[in-house]
Amino acid sequence: MTPMEKQNYYETLELSPKATWKEIQMAYELAKKTYAGDGLASYSLFDEGERDNILDRIEEAYHVLSDPKKKSKYDAALAASGTDSASASEAASLPPSVEVPIPEQITGEVIKALRQKSGVSLEEIAETTRININYLESIEMDRFDFLPAEVYVYGYLRQIARIIHCADKVVEGYMQVYRTGRQLKK
Amino acid sequence: MLNGNGIGRHTPVYRDLFEEIEISRKEVWAVGGGKGGTGKSFISANLGVSLSKMGKRVLLVDADLGCANLHTFLGVDPVMTLSDFIQGKVSDLEKVLTKTSIPNLYLLSGARDYLEITNPKHIQKVGLIQRIQKLQFEHIILDLGAGTAFTNLDFFLSADVGILSVLPEPTSIENAYRFIKSAFYRHFQKWAQEPLIRKMITNAMHEKNERGIQTPNDLINHIASMEGAVGKKLQKAVLSFSPRVIVNQVRSRDDITLGFSIRSSCSKYFGIKVDYVGYIEYDDHVWQACKKKNPLVIESPYSSSARCIDRVLSNLMKKDELKLESVIRTLGV
Ligand SMILES: Nc1ncnc2c1ncn2[C@@H]1O[C@H](COP(=O)(O)OP(=O)(O)OP(=O)(O)O)[C@@H](O)[C@H]1O
Ligand SMILES: [Mg+2]
């Protein structure tokens, strides 16, 4: 789990990047209630200063995500750089020994190899991310026509990358392979 | 009532049940929660009964060794208990099983009068956990005692799914967090063999320290940043620790959404994913059923609390959780 100060706005509100406007509202209301002064679930874990700090982050995240213009700018920045600070910091903590030489073409096989290298099973990923295991399998087998639209696959890849600790360029690389694969099918 | 012999693998009547059905996948659930009286036994009993009504072969284990009372929720009177086994009076654990009035549902009763074995020696305990897990059932549910004794933590951690029953009141939540914290560190210690890391974990447990490690989540991130391979291993340990929470005896909407707040607080503080599998309404049918020594889901299957049990069970089986959106939609909070 990323340290709080390095989380992106979605992580702060515990939302998926695909969250709808309604979901953002609900998450915000819940978060405010959770970390308010009399929050039954939080007072014994966080002191007042910590809760204020969390509330500030929540407000900041909501300020951006609730405003369609600001949100789309933020989303674009998040996607373009591919390095929200969260994954950047995790990539930086990668020990050199775990690095597998990364080939030019990031096919599903490469993702699979990286995953196996990090000792995480598909089931474990499915369990933590709630991504349907059939999709996870399809990613590793390059079954592009079984996969949903690009935005979703991108989201999945980012979640997988976070768990198996691979660099953003792997995600980008796979997305290129995915796009080409889909185009060919058409 | 019936004695445990009826269920033994060697008893002809049940032979086919035991020898011809290959039990493919077994799931062990443990119901704990720190505080006393949060409904652990009530929930264990009713989840067990509901599962067996679905045709599953279920074993309920009263792992509350000092203060067993699961049998009362089921209306059975065990002839033999775990203490007979722990004290070596019986060597075959299957002989200690008690058949219940519900087909497919068996009880391994706790030690009623033997307070001295509340904390069995580690060796005994490991043996016991392994023997229980080898019994031929599709579902095994462990009803734990209150508190954070190592016996409770070890039973909790041995299960495939750890379930915490919490009441919507400060003391219960504080105790539940204490339980999560103790279980989490015990789980963690088992993964981390390196003396240095173990020491760091021990230090981190002792409140806030000068390294800026304030929460278990900080600790994991700290370990990850200093020692790559070890950090990754521990992060895996974190991923594999994912308790489920039930909020029991809810009386208001705020009580219901409390489960989501607990989920969020645990994520931010422990860095772990807690699944909120559902709530159970406060309901007079519960104690009425208890007074009749009949499980709620049989005595009053259409009561609001029994329906809540159904929903919780469904989420547990599907490895799913309650969605904030659906709660808000149905309750219009
Ligand atoms: N949803 C509910 N509505 C009303 N009463 C309830 C509900 N849940 C539990 N109770 C009552 O609360 C009491 C305590 O329940 P239970 O014995 O299951 O708790 P426990 O956690 O197992 O306690 P212990 O820690 O002593 O083992 C029982 O009398 C039970 O009938
Ligand atoms: Mg009990």
CB atoms near residue B50 (< 10 Å): 24
B123 — pLDDT class (breaks 50, 70, 90): low
Residue B22 has pLDDT above 90, yes or no: no
Contacts of A97 (CB under 8 A, 6+ apart): B228, B229
Q: Within 13 A of B146's CA, how many CA atoms are on the CB side? A: 11
Contact state of A54 with B268 under an 8 Å Cβ cutoff: yes
Least confident of A36-45, B11-20, B74-83, B91-100: B11-20
Q: Which residues of A touch B (CB under 8 A)?
A: 1-4, 14, 22-23, 26-27, 30-31, 33-34, 39-46, 50, 54, 90, 93-98, 118-120, 124, 127-128, 163, 165
**Does the Cβ of B290 fall within 6 Å of ligand 1?**
yes
Cα separation, B140 vs B160, in Å, equals: 10
Q: Report the relative pairing of strands B161-166 and B27-32 from DSSP bridges.
A: parallel
B64 Cβ below 6 A of ligand 1: yes
Residue contacts between A and B (CB atoms, under 8 Å): 91
Which amino acid is present at B83? S
pTM, entire model: 0.75
CATH of A4-92, one of 1.10.357.10, 3.40.47.10, 1.10.287.110, 1.20.200.10: 1.10.287.110
Q: What is the pLDDT of residue B14?
A: 40
Q: A136 and A125 in contact (C-beta within 8 Å)?
A: yes
Residue B142 CB–ligand 1 contact under 6 Å:
no
Ligand 1 pocket mutation, candidates B41, B42, B43, B109, criterion most atoms within 8 A of CB: B42
- What chain B residue is nearest to A39 in terms of C-alpha separation? B261
What is the CATH T-level fold of the domain A108-185, as seen in this structure? Answer: 434 Repressor (Amino-terminal Domain) (1.10.260)
Query: d(Cα A23, Cα A63) in Å, to the nearest integer?
Result: 15
The answer to whether B166 and B247 have CB atoms below 8 angstroms apart is yes
Closest CA to B156 of B132, B134, B180, B178: B180
Cross-chain Cβ contact B170/A40 below 8 Å? yes
What pLDDT, on a 0 to 100 scale, did the predictor assign at position B206?
65
Indicate the SS3 state at residue B239. Answer: helix
The shortest C-alpha distance from A127 to chain B (Å) reads 8
User: DSSP letter at A102?
Assistant: P
Query: For residue A114, is it left (φ>0), alpha (ψ between -120 and 50) or beta?
Result: alpha
For the segment B41-56, the average pLDDT, to the nearest whole number, is 97
Mean pLDDT of A151-155: 88
For residue A22, the chain B residue with the least C-alpha distance is B325
Query: Rounded to a whole number, what is the distance in Å from the CA of B275 to chain A's nearest CA?
Result: 10
**Closest by Cα among A162, A100, A115, A87 to B235:** A162
pLDDT digits (tens, 9 = 90+) for B190-243: 777 777 777 777 776 665 555 556 677 777 777 777 666 777 777 778 888 999
Chain B residue closest in CA terms to A23: B325
Residue numbers in A near B242 (CB within 8 A): 127-128
Task: Say if the Cβ atoms of B264 and A14 lie within 8 Å.
Answer: yes
Residues 6+ apart with CB under 8 A from B262: A41, B166, B173, B176, B245, B247, B274, B276
B229 contacts on A by Cβ (under 8 Å) = 95, 97-98
For the stretch A54-105, pLDDT in tens is 999 999 999 999 988 899 999 998 887 665 444 433 333 333 334 456 778 8
Based on C-alpha coordinates, what's the Rg of chain B? 20
Q: What percent of chain B has pLDDT over 90?
A: 52
Strand positions, DSSP E, B190-314? 244-250, 275-281
B28, β-bridge pairs: B140
Are A14 and B324 inside 8 Å of each other by CB? no
Domain boundaries, chain A: 4-92, 108-185
Q: Going by C-beta distance under 8 Å and a sequence separation of 6 or more, which residues neighbour residue B317? A: none
pLDDT of the residue at B10: 36
Domains annotated for chain B, with CATH where assigned, are 26-169+242-324 (3.40.50.300)
pLDDT band of residue B119 (cuts 50, 70, 90) is: low
Of A23, A30, A119, the CB nearest to B260: A30
Of B2 and A31, the one with more pLDDT: A31
B76 lines ligand 1 (CB under 6 A): no
* Percentages of chain B per state (helix, strand, coil), in multiples of 5: 50, 15, 35
Indicate the pLDDT class of residue A159, thresholds 50, 70 and 90: confident
When pLDDT is averaged across residues A19-25 and rounded to a whole number, the result is: 89
Residue-by-residue DSSP string for A123-165? HHHHHHH---HHHHHHHHTT-GGGS--HHHHHHHHHHHHHHHT
Residue B75 is inside which H or E element, if any?
none
**Whether residue A186 has pLDDT greater than 50:** yes
Q: What is the ipTM of this complex?
A: 0.82
B35/B43 Cα distance (integer angstroms): 14
A128 pLDDT exceeds 80?
A: no
